[in-house]
Amino acid sequence: MGALEPILLTIITASTPLLLAAMGELITERSGVLNLGVEGMMIVGAVMGFSITAMTGNPYMGVIASMFAGMMMALLFGFLTLNLMTNQVATGLALTILGLGLSGMLGEGFIGQPGIKLPVLHIPGLSEIPFLGTVLLSQDILVYISLALVAAVYYFLFKTRAGLVVRAVGDNHSSAHALGYSVLKVRYLAVLFGGACSGLAGGYLSLVYTPQWVEGMTAGRGWIALALVVFASWRPLRLLVGAYLFGAVSVLQFHAQAAGIGLPSQFMSALPYLATIVVLVIISRNLVVTRANTPACLGRPFSPDR
C-alpha cells in the first residue's frame, strides 16, 4: 500500500487537467461546435493563473484569472465561428497558435519565478486516515471540482430541459431554431463553458501540477483532451474513466524509469500520445457507436437567416 500511494497521487494529479479540459470540450461539441483550440486556451489560462497569483499572492485569484482567460479566448473563437461563420477547424488551430504565442509574450517576465501552490484541503479527522485519507481526502479543491463537474454535466445533459436543448441544437440546429430556441445563444454559452474549463485546466498545471511558469507547459494535453471526448463517445462518465486511464499512462514513464525498466526515455514520453492514436483507431472501427453518439451538426455553421 505504501508503494501504491504515490502512484495513485501522481495519477490523480496528471488526470485532473485532462478531465477539466475534456469536460468543457464535451459540452462545446454537444452543442454542435468543434473547438480545436483547447491547447491554446489551456496555455493562456496557465500563464494568467500563474501571473495573477504571483502578483497578488493569492492562488485562488489565479484560479479565477485562468478561467476568465480561457473564456476570453473562447469568446474570440465564438465570434469568429458563430457570427462570422469561419471554418471551425481552421479557427481552432489558429486559436491554438495564437494562445501559444500570446502566452510566451505574457509569461516572459515570470520565467524562473517560484510559484505559489494551491493549498491542499484537509478534512479534520478524515485526512489522517491511512492511505484513503492521503489519496482521496487530502487533495486540492480543483480535484474535487473536476469530479463534481462530471456528475453535474451528466445530470445537466440527461436530466434537465436545458441539457436536452443543448443536445437538440447539436443534433439538429435547424429543428431547434424552428422550435424557437436561439441556436447561437446556446452555442455561445457552451463555447464559453468550454473555455472556462480549459483555462481552469491550464491554471491547474501552473498552480498545482508544476507551480511555476514554463513556456509550452501544456505539452499537448489539449490535443489529448480532444481525443478523450471521442474516446468517451461524448459521455461524461466514460470521460472520467478515459481521463484517469490516460493520466495513468502519462505518469507510467516516471515510475518505469524509477523502477529501472530498460526502455528509452523518449519512448516512455511518447506513450500518452501513442495511446491516443491507438484508441482513436480502435474507436473509429466501430462506426455504429461513433455515429450513434456523435452530434449530427458537429462542426456545421448555422445562420438564422437561412
Domains and CATH numbers, the chain: 4-293 (1.10.3470)
Question: For residue 39, what pLDDT is reported?
Answer: 97
d(CA 198, CA 188): 15
d(CA 47, CA 119): 19
Contact partners, residue 242, CB within 8 Å, separation at least 6 = 22, 228, 231, 232
Question: For residue 257, what pLDDT is reported?
Answer: 64
Does the pLDDT value for residue 5 go beyond 60? yes
Does the pLDDT value for residue 306 go beyond 70? no
Question: For residue 96, what pLDDT is reported?
Answer: 97
Please tell me which residue, 57 or 269, carries the higher pLDDT value: 57
Cell of 53: 497569483
Question: For residue 45, what pLDDT is reported?
Answer: 97
Query: Which of 132-146, 181-195, 262-276 has the least mean pLDDT?
Result: 262-276
What's the whole-model pTM score?
0.92
Q: What are the tens digits of pLDDT across the range 243-272? A: 998 888 888 777 666 666 666 767 777 777
Does the pLDDT value for residue 100 go beyond 90? yes
Question: For residue 65, what pLDDT is reported?
Answer: 97
Question: For residue 275, what pLDDT is reported?
Answer: 76
Q: What are the tens digits of pLDDT across the range 147-180? A: 999 999 999 999 999 999 999 999 999 999 999 9
Q: What are phi and psi of 101, to 5 degrees?
A: -70, -45
- pLDDT above 90 covers a percentage of the chain that reads 66
Q: What are phi and psi of 35, to 5 degrees?
A: -110, 105
